[in-house]
């Protein structure tokens, strides 16, 4: 039975790959809707990108909603320096024809969770947590209706990628992350600590280009564009591929290793705003609220991505 999910996202090349994987796996995911937020790029572009992706995948049955245009309590920080001015540079996707749904994304989250049986819907999170946090503030009763949150977010041992101490998704809206992590919902966090071990090497990118379908070519081109920033930054043999960890974990959790810990978010620090403080060694009595993933099988990860992207038109 496919797992019912709401995808929250701000695509973004690596997020785009994650969405395409989910769209290509109807046996694993019953996607109730995609809710876009401001993050990697502004909301107008993220909702456009999400609509373009459902068209590319031939899945225009999946509704796309626009959520919040900015974080809860601070100005929007974006990442055009990584993703380009469209957020999906390198993809060369046409203007989508599928319509954006009129309903606000936060209202969609609330209404959907209230309409579905408790525990049956999971949150597939690729972005700042603004929309989910606002839904929890508006309707606290939905917390107990969410089966699980699986999020690409955070960092501890690998510290930050947007500041010296913070990972981008958390840094953009630390207040939202704080709300979500305190809501008592079963949560899996896939942080930089694991994504920095899953590198899109030249060989792996050639695999996508060689799949023989349009989807594979788009993925190879997108990742070829976005990886240039990380290659310059880190000097590694490949760039981390963050977003696809979410669908990969949900399909094959045995590919990853982690432990149940407490994760808290710094919302006031001058130097550490947005830092995910992980009590990895249990030195506090704070409740364990997150399965924190620190390792993954890179070969199996990229084989799964290629298998699913190969199904696309």
Residue 233: predicted pLDDT: 76
The arithmetic mean of pLDDT across residues 143-149, rounded, is: 98
The arithmetic mean of pLDDT across residues 6-26, rounded, is: 97
Residue 121: predicted pLDDT: 98
**pLDDT per residue as tens digits for the range 75-127:** 999 989 888 898 898 888 888 999 999 999 999 999 999 999 999 999 999 99
pLDDT band of residue 225 (cuts 50, 70, 90) is confident
**pLDDT per residue as tens digits for the range 186-219:** 999 999 999 999 999 889 989 999 999 999 999 9
Q: Is residue 237 over pLDDT 80?
A: no
**pLDDT per residue as tens digits for the range 125-145:** 999 999 999 999 999 999 999
**Global model pTM greater than 0.85:** yes
Mean pLDDT of the chain: 95
The arithmetic mean of pLDDT across residues 247-271, rounded, is: 97
Catalytic residue among 81, 83, 196, 242: 242
Domain that holds residue 164: 3-309
Check if 104 is active-site: no
Which CATH number does the domain housing residue 141 bear?
A: 3.90.245.10
DSSP string for the chain: -PEEEEEEE---HHHHHHHHHHHT-TTTEEEEEEEE-SSSS-HHHHHHHHHHHHHHTT-TTS-EEE--SS-SSS-----HHHH-TTSSTT--PPPP-SPPPSS-HHHHHHHHHHHSPTT-EEEEE-S-SHHHHHHHHH-GGGGGGEEEEEEE---STT--SSSSS--HHHHH-HHHHHHHHTS---EEEE-HHHHTTSEE-HHHHHHHHTT-SHHHHHHHHHHHHHHHHHHHHH--SSEE--TTHHHHHHH-GGGEEEEEE-EEE-SS-TTTTT-EEE-TT--S-----EEEEEEE-HHHHHHHHHHHHTT--
pLDDT band of residue 234 (cuts 50, 70, 90) is confident
Q: Is residue 220 over pLDDT 80?
A: yes
Percent of the chain whose predicted confidence (pLDDT) is above 70: 100
Q: Is residue 261 over pLDDT 90?
A: yes
**pLDDT per residue as tens digits for the range 60-69:** 999 999 999 9
The arithmetic mean of pLDDT across residues 4-19, rounded, is: 96
Counting the structural domains of the chain, the total is 1
């Amino acid at each position: 039975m496919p797992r019912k999910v709401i995808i929250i996202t701000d695509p973004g090349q690596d997020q785009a790959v994650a969405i395409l994987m989910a769209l290509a796996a109807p046996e694993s995911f019953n996607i109730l809707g995609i809710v876009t937020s401001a993050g990697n790029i502004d909301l107008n572009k993220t909702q456009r990108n999400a609509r373009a992706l459902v068209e590319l995948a031939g899945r225009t049955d999946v509704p796309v909603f626009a959520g919040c245009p900015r974080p809860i309590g601070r100005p929007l920080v974006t990442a055009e320096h990584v993703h380009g001015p469209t957020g999906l540079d390198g993809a060369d996707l046409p203007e989508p024809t599928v319509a954006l749904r009129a309903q606000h994304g936060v209202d969609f989250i609330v209404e959907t969770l209230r309409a579905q049986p408790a525990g049956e819907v999971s949150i597939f999170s690729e972005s700042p947590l603004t929309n989910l946090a606002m839904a929890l503030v508006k309707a606290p009763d939905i917390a107990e209706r969410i089966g699980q949150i699986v999020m690409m977010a955070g960092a501890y041992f690998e510290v930050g990628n947007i500041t010296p101490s913070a990972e981008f998704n958390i840094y953009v809206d630390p207040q939202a992350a704080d709300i979500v992590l305190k809501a008592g919902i079963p949560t899996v966090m896939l942080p930089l600590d694991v994504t920095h071990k899953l590198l899109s090497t030249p060989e792996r990118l050639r695999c996508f280009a060689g799949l023989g379908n349009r989807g594979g070519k788009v993925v190879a081109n997108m990742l070829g564009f976005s990886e240039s920033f990380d290659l310059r930054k880190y000097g590694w043999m490949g760039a981390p591929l963050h977003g696809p960890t979410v669908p990969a974990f949900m399909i094959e959790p045995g590919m990853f290793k982690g432990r149940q810990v407490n994760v808290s978010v710094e919302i006031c620090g001058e130097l550490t705003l947005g830092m995910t403080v992980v009590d990895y060694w249990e030195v506090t009595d704070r409740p364990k609220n997150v399965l924190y993933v620190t390792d993954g099988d890179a070969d199996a990860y990229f084989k799964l991505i290629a298998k699913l992207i190969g199904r696309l038109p």
